[in-house]
Amino acid sequence: PADSSGQTASMKLNIVKRNGKEMFAGGLDVPDDATTDDLKAVFAKAAKKHQTRQRFTLPIPAGADPKKVRGTPLDAGKSLSKDYGLKDGSVVVFKDLGPQVPYAVVFLAEYAGPMLCYLPFYFFRSAIYASTKKYPATAPMLQVQTLAMVFHTAHYLKRILETLFVHHFSHATMPIFNLYRNCAYYWGFAAIMSYFINHPAYTPVSETQMKVGFAFSALMQLGNLHCHVYQASLRKDGSKEYKEPKGGLFRFVTCANYCCEIYQWVGFNVATQSAMGWLFVACGAAQMMDWANAKHKRLKRLFPGFRRPFKLLPP
């Protein structure tokens, strides 16, 4: 829009850091009808900070505890004036997210690595393990060891294919630190689990337990795939806005995809009975519980009346 003189109408926003320090004397000029994306573009030129590093929020209400209350984030594509009520002189809080890396790169790295870390212990066992008279490293692989290798590899191959052809990410990037942390978790556990499962001295569970465990794991893998395909269908129009998941297992569980992921590894560990495998699923479940609680709160805030019997793990 333009004013009576024909000039484009604009407003000055007071951009402050999280410590309250003002970043631009006199404020930052943005058009009256600017969106969050416009603000990021203007800020990038003025502060020399790439848009992927920028996060803007509204200030927390006066008197609120900053440890309990967070400022409302300015979401991509939203109007600063219409959606957030910003006007000339309004305060906006900036946070530098630090160096970023694309989500797809992180996912591909953290899922390809476990396959490369797991497989050598299976295919090159005689070169890795010391051979003894009781437990020769050249002995044939047990059926459970072969199935464990197949299931482990299939899981991460599925995740790579989902990253390439199924997932639609709500955010383009994540902090580069997450790449190192996630890879250390997935790669490290894959190597340790494989070391013990493929060890010549490995003691297998009963055939019945093995079959039940792998059958349950396969069923949960398919359930997880269905959840991911359904979630992708919610954004087939290219939108990055949050949509309420209502179909399939999401009718009963807020984070049905996490539920299937956890139970898939439970089945795997029932079949293989590895201490490191149980530790892996326990660490993963603890993290996913934290994500599930946050997502449940967000969905309740975004969609009044949102209710599900379970957040993460029925029953």
pLDDT tens by residue, 119-131: 999 999 999 999 9
Whether pLDDT at 5 is above 70: no
What pLDDT sits at residue 8?
62
What's the pTM value of the predicted model, to 2 decimals? 0.84
Cα-based distances in Å from 132 to 136, 137, 199, 238: 5, 7, 12, 59
The pair of three-digit structure tokens given for residue 178, joined into one six-digit string: 């997450």
Q: In the predicted model, what is the mean pLDDT of residues 279-298?
A: 96
For residues 266-285, average pLDDT? 98
Q: How far apart are CA 92 and CA 11, in angstroms?
A: 13
Please state, as a whole number, how many other Cβ atoms lie within 10 Å of the Cβ of residue 251: 11
Q: pLDDT band for 3, please (50, 70, 90 cuts).
A: low
Task: Quote the radius of gyration of the chain (alpha carbons, Å).
Answer: 25
Does residue 313 have a pLDDT over 60?
Answer: yes
Residues 6+ apart with CB under 8 A from 298: 242
Mean pLDDT score across all residues of the chain: 93
- What confidence score (pLDDT) does residue 1 get? 56
- Candidate from 199-208, 214-223, 236-245 with smallest mean pLDDT: 236-245
Taking residues 276-297, report their average pLDDT: 96
Mean pLDDT, range 307-315, rounded to an integer: 93
pLDDT at 155: 98
Q: How far is 187 from 59, CA to CA, in rounded Å?
A: 40
Q: Provide mean pLDDT across the span 297-301.
A: 92
**Quick one: what percent of the chain has pLDDT higher than 70?**
97
The string of pLDDT tens digits covering residues 155-203 is 999 999 999 999 888 777 899 999 999 999 999 999 999 999 999 999 9
Tens of pLDDT, residue by residue over 32-58, are: 999 999 999 999 999 999 999 999 999
Residue 262 has pLDDT above 50, yes or no: yes
* Per-residue model confidence (pLDDT) at position 2: 47
In DSSP notation, 153-202 reads: HHHHHHHHHHHHHT---SSSEEEHHHHHHHHHHHHHHHHHHHHHHT-TT-
Mean pLDDT of 212-223: 98
